[in-house]
Amino acid sequence: MDNRVADITLNKDEMRLWGSLALQGIDNAMSGLATMVNREIRMSSLSLKQVPASEAPDLVGGADKMVIGIYLAFEGDATGHLMLVHQPDVALAIIDMLLGNEPGATRDLNEMEQSALGEMGNIIGSAFLNAIADALSLRLQPSPPEVILDMAGAILDVAFAEILQQTDDVIVAETSFGTSDRQARGTFLVIPSFNFLKVILSNAGVEK
Amino acid sequence: MISGKLDQLGPIDVSSIARSDSLIAVGLGEIKVSRDPSAVLVSFGLGSCVAVCAYDLTARVGGMMHVVLPYCSNKDSARKFPGKYADIGMPTLIREMENHGAMRTRIQVKIAGGASVIHAATFDGLLDMGQKNVVAVRTALESESIPIVSSDTGGHKGRSVWLVVGTGGMTVRTASGATVYP
Amino acid sequence: MARVLVVDDAIFARMRCARLLTDNGYEVDEASNGAEALAKYKQQKPDAVLLDITMPDMDGLAALKQIINHDPDARVAMVSAMGQKSMVVEALEVGAKDFVVKPFDAARVLQAVQKLVS
């Protein structure tokens, strides 16, 4: 077994490459969402970060913040984790939009409501992966989505447990997005595994 | 799947400890030790992670370790995050407590965490990571001959865990309520 | 009246698809995973199948292989968000007649079904 900590740190060129691929993916993901809800979607921020494991939950407003998370893992030629994070009340507004209900009509999360959110996660996550996979001739297959109401940190633990087996830092692409009326908004997190970065960099001709 | 209804999300009163002046946050893989009896150590939003709350009531020393993984495969990474692995983190936690004046024979432990929040087996080896962490923590404590006084582990809900250094009291909060282990 | 089997693990996606097809005069049956799809196909032999890919247990590609294996003339269109080139090519090679990439576009889905049943 390799006894060194894998260094996930990206140099400037690698960061630029990962950034441009992530942006292609996020663009495709947001246009998928726009088609799904039949509204314009705006990205209010996009950041690419490398953070120590201990600080990673701060990305979503703190580890103990109650959120509705839609989680997908992906595997295939590379692996990683995708998550949509919504304030619970905003998630309900999104469900109203998806189900064509009057605003405020959705109060609980039963099977149909969870399925609507899950399908949104499936479309956003798949569209993100489609763009990157096609750009690099890879196959990246998402898992079925899981919709979870819990503390943000508790949901993210599954990603950290996988990534921290090899590294101490986590690379995250974080996008805040919303409809122009801000009725629906959320955060889309992409947390690649160490192997994902190796694969995309070597497929693009950069050795990691 | 979601079992909690949204209207159960009301504020849960942990204010007596959560507003402590000397709140010390313990992030993933960290070990923090204090000999300030009024200090409160806290790990927020544990899913599969486990918080090990150790204390010596006589020396009034408390320590918390935020375990992410059961067994060490990579000793180097334990330098930056000594509490990342249950197996090699436990001796470090105890040594740190001793350095702060605790006596090994007086140390008692409460543990919380190790939930399975994501149900699907996403990757090989990630399934039941919470359960694996709990087992590894128990094993590590057994080999150190340190007793577990109370534990709040498993299930499907995330937890935040507070330890009051001076009393050894552990408070565990989930989405649906708080439990105090005095 | 043509019978269409709609296969998707998300009840939300099945509902939208089923509503669209019944509104347009099709008879619709539903399955929520690959294994159920295969069983219903054998039992009912629908005129067309709309098949999602990302599903628990047996995914859509595995189900497609088994359906084609059981009935080489099966008329199946994939309807999936997982629209990567390699996936589209593989599905068509296995025997899917069409591949509709989600998000759901009503006209495109109807066009695919019309082609399958004609």
Contact A94, A179 (CB under 8 A): no
For residue C55, list chain A residues with Cβ-Cβ distance below 8 A.
144
From the list A133, A139, A142, which residue is nearest C54 (CB)? A142
pLDDT of residue A182: 78
CB contact under 8 A, B175 and A152: no
Q: Is the pLDDT of residue C18 over 90?
A: yes
* Mean pLDDT, range C89-115, rounded to an integer: 96
Contact B24, B34 (CB under 8 A): yes
* Mean pLDDT, range C106-114, rounded to an integer: 96
From the list A148, A152, A168, which residue is nearest B2 (CB)? A148
Q: How far is A35 from chain C, CA to nearest CA, in Å?
A: 6
Give phi and psi for A207, each to the nearest 5: -85, 135
Which is more confident, C114 or B78? C114
Domain range for residue B100? 6-181
Q: Is the pLDDT of residue A205 over 90?
A: no
Buried b / exposed e along B69-102 (16+ C-beta atoms within 10 A): bbebebeebbeebbbbbbbebbebbbebbbebeb
pLDDT tens per residue, range B152-166: 999 999 999 999 999
Query: For position C110, which CATH number holds?
Result: 3.40.50.2300
Which is more confident, A106 or C57? A106
For residue A108, list chain B residues with Cβ-Cβ distance below 8 A.
5-6
Terminal-residue alpha carbon distance, chain A? 18
pLDDT tens per residue, range B164-174: 999 999 999 99
The identity of residue A84, as a single letter, is: L
pLDDT of residue A166: 85
pLDDT of residue B97: 98
Q: How far is B131 from chain A, CA to nearest CA, in Å?
A: 13
C102 contact A CB<8A: yes
Residue (of C72, C78, C25, C19) closest to C51 by Cα position = C78
pLDDT of residue A125: 98
pLDDT of residue A12: 83
Number of domains in chain C: 1
* Mean pLDDT, range B36-50, rounded to an integer: 96
pLDDT of residue B127: 75
Q: Could you tell me the CA-to-CA distances from B35 to B52, B57, B98, B102, B160 in Å, in that order?
A: 17, 10, 11, 9, 22
pLDDT of residue B73: 74
pLDDT tens per residue, range B102-150: 999 999 999 999 999 987 656 666 778 999 999 999 999 999 999 999 9
CB contact under 8 A, B158 and A155: yes
pLDDT of residue B168: 96
C117 contact A CB<8A: no
Q: Is the pLDDT of residue C107 over 60?
A: yes
CB contact under 8 A, A133 and C86: yes
Q: Which residue of C has its CA nearest to A75?
A: C54
Q: How far is C29 from chain A, CA to nearest CA, in Å?
A: 18
Query: For position B155, which CATH number holds?
Result: 3.30.1330.200
Q: Is the pLDDT of residue B11 over 50?
A: no
From the list C11, C15, C83, which residue is nearest A130 (CB)? C83
Q: Specify the fold of A12-203.
A: Chemotaxis protein chec (3.40.1550)
Q: Is the pLDDT of residue B2 over 60?
A: no
Average pLDDT, chain B: 89
pLDDT of residue A2: 45
Residue (of A121, A165, A93, A146) closest to A32 by Cα position = A121
Residue A142 CA to residue A115 CA, distance in Å, equals 16
pLDDT tens per residue, range A119-150: 999 999 999 999 999 999 999 999 999 999 99
pLDDT of residue B13: 58
Domains of chain A, by residue range, sit at 12-203
- A164-168, B33-37, C74-78: least confidently modelled range: A164-168
For residue A76, list chain B residues with Cβ-Cβ distance below 8 A.
none
pLDDT of residue A5: 64
Is residue B110 situated within a structural domain? Answer: yes
C9 contact A CB<8A: yes
pLDDT of residue A55: 86
A7 contact B CB<8A: no
For residue A71, list chain B residues with Cβ-Cβ distance below 8 A.
118
Neighbours of chain A (3+ CB pairs under 8 A): B, C
For chain B, what is the HEC assignment? CCCCCHHHCCCCCCHHHHCCCCEEECCCCCEEEECCCCCEEEEEEECCCEEEEEEECCCCEEEEEEECECCCCCCCHHHHCCCCEHHHHHHHHHHHHHHCCCCHHHCEEEEEECCCCCCCCCCCCCCCHHHHHHHHHHHHHHHCCCCEEEEEECCCCCEEEEEECCCCCEEEEECCEEEEEC
pLDDT of residue C43: 96
Q: Is the pLDDT of residue A204 over 80?
A: no
Give the percent of chain A with pLDDT over 70: 96
* Mean pLDDT, range B69-90, rounded to an integer: 86
Q: Is the pLDDT of residue C71 over 60?
A: yes
Q: Which long-range contacts (CB under 8 A, 24 or more apart) does C100-108 make?
A: C100/C50, C101/A130, C102/A32, C102/A122, C102/A123, C102/A126, C102/C13, C103/A32, C103/A33, C103/A35, C103/A36, C103/A123, C104/A36, C104/C13, C104/C16, C104/C17, C104/C79, C105/A35, C106/C20
Residue C84 CA to residue A138 CA, distance in Å, equals 9
For residue B73, list chain A residues with Cβ-Cβ distance below 8 A.
1, 165
pLDDT of residue B7: 47
Helices (H), chain A: 12-37, 88-99, 111-136, 152-163, 194-203
Is residue B177 situated within a structural domain? Answer: yes
Average pLDDT, chain A: 90
CB contact under 8 A, C11 and A126: no
Q: How confident is the model at residue A10 (pLDDT cuts 50, 70, 90)?
A: confident
Q: Is the pLDDT of residue C101 over 50?
A: yes
Q: Is the pLDDT of residue B16 over 80?
A: no
- Residues of B with catalytic roles: 49
Taking residue B172's Cβ as centre, other Cβ atoms within 10 Å add up to: 24
From the list B9, B47, B159, which residue is nearest A158 (CB)? B47
Domain range for residue C10? 3-117
